[in-house]
Amino acid sequence: MNLRPEQLSAHLAKPLAPLYLLHGNEPLLVLEAADLVRAAARRQGFDERETLVVGQGFRWESLSAAAGNLSLFGGSKLIDLRIPGGKPGRDGGDALQRYARSLPSGIVTLITLPEVDWATRKTAWFTALSQLGVTVELNAPERERLGEWIAVRLARQKQTASPEALAFIAEHVEGNLLAAHQEILKLGLLHAEGSLSLEDVQNAVLNVARYDIAKLRDALVEGDPVRCTRLLEGLQGEGAAPPLVLWALANEIRMLAKLCAGKTAGQPLATLFKAERIFDERRKYALSSALGRVRTGTLRAALLHAAKIDRIIKGLAPGDVWDEFLQLAMRLARR
């Protein structure tokens, strides 16, 4: 059974399932969901808990041993299995399949994983866990939904904020959900219940955004010049290596050039995406939109511009590399 994150609390009010599988790209949300399962287990009489953390040298016999090692007093038990690396290996995969197919009575098993890629989702062990247990995928909200996520968190502490204030918080905590959580709690400590003004938020919220190159690539393809500018300023301020930034931008330009050439030659986009191993639906949509915005000549000029930046980085040509990055980004992001 697959549950959406917002369905988990209602589900846990009922008798627990024997197996829960939590995974996602946001550790804070996975941790909070695991806390909900552990709290529900305590409420329902699963007083004993055994935690197993899979790491180098982990012995998978420990899992079956934990399941067989029940309290002499007959209490129910929660087995908390954590796989931080997300890859149990061949022995672990076999052990997980055997375990899932013969779940012991009187035991609830909680398995937590980080983000799971498409190849892992197709493995026999992940399929067995998903089919025989309750699965919840917990990913960070998309950038455009971050303000909504913040509003829900504020509502939990009986506070509200204007759209401008929510946008201000979102801009300053982008890419750092744990910091967003901490800033929201801080607003609860600094201000009483009720409405928060933009000034209240501006005075309280620190700029704790994390700028990473993947987000810059997304903003470039999505045609968001304002976000490109902010991300480049953030990367410069954090001391990002210019060759790495150039590599990321040039890769996106080459990708768009290949897709544009294929589309011009009459190939279906679905075929081109498959050939380039692009499977994420959000990225497919962004690239499709970008192909309607940029032309072959623009991409050719962008590649020449990237070559110029490479010479600047190597000291073979004059210029301000970060200013050139901004000009290159604007060339492609402008609508």
User: Average pLDDT of the chain?
Assistant: 88
The 8-class DSSP code of residue 143 comes to: G
pLDDT band at 171 (very low <50, low <70, confident <90, very high): confident
Would the pLDDT of 38 be above 60? yes
Q: Give how far the C-alpha of residue 131 lies from the chain's centroid of Cα atoms, to the nearest Å.
A: 23
Would the pLDDT of 72 be above 50? no
Would the pLDDT of 318 be above 50? yes
pLDDT on residue 210: 66
Across 7-34, average pLDDT: 94
Please report, rounded to a whole number, the percentage of residues in the chain having pLDDT higher than 90. Answer: 44
pLDDT band at 74 (very low <50, low <70, confident <90, very high): low
pLDDT on residue 286: 87
pLDDT on residue 274: 87
Across 293-320, average pLDDT: 90
**What are φ and ψ of residue 6, in 5° steps?**
-70, -10
* pLDDT tens per residue, range 75-130: 688 999 999 999 898 999 999 999 998 888 889 999 999 999 888 999 999 999 99
Across 281-301, average pLDDT: 88
Would the pLDDT of 334 be above 80? no
Name the pTM for this structure: 0.66
From residue 256, give the alpha-carbon distance in Å to each of 213, 217, 262. Answer: 17, 12, 10
> What is the number of alpha carbons within 13 Å of residue 86 lying toward its C-beta?
13
* pLDDT tens per residue, range 206-224: 766 666 788 888 889 988 8
More confident residue, 17 or 215: 17
Strands 19-23 and 2-3: unpaired
Would the pLDDT of 70 be above 70? no
Q: Which domains does the chain have, with CATH numbers?
A: 2-137 (3.40.50.300), 143-204 (1.10.8.60), 213-333 (1.20.272.10)
pLDDT on residue 44: 92
Three-state SS at 179: helix
- Which range, of 27-31, 207-211, 255-259, 268-272, averages the lowest pLDDT? 207-211
The 8-class DSSP code of residue 317 comes to: S
pLDDT on residue 71: 53
pLDDT band at 280 (very low <50, low <70, confident <90, very high): confident
Alpha helices in 56-211 (DSSP H): 61-68, 89-101, 118-121, 124-132, 146-156, 163-173, 177-190, 198-204
From residue 331, give the alpha-carbon distance in Å to each of 132, 232, 296. Answer: 50, 14, 13
Whether 221 contacts 189, CB under 8 Å = no
Would the pLDDT of 18 be above 60? yes
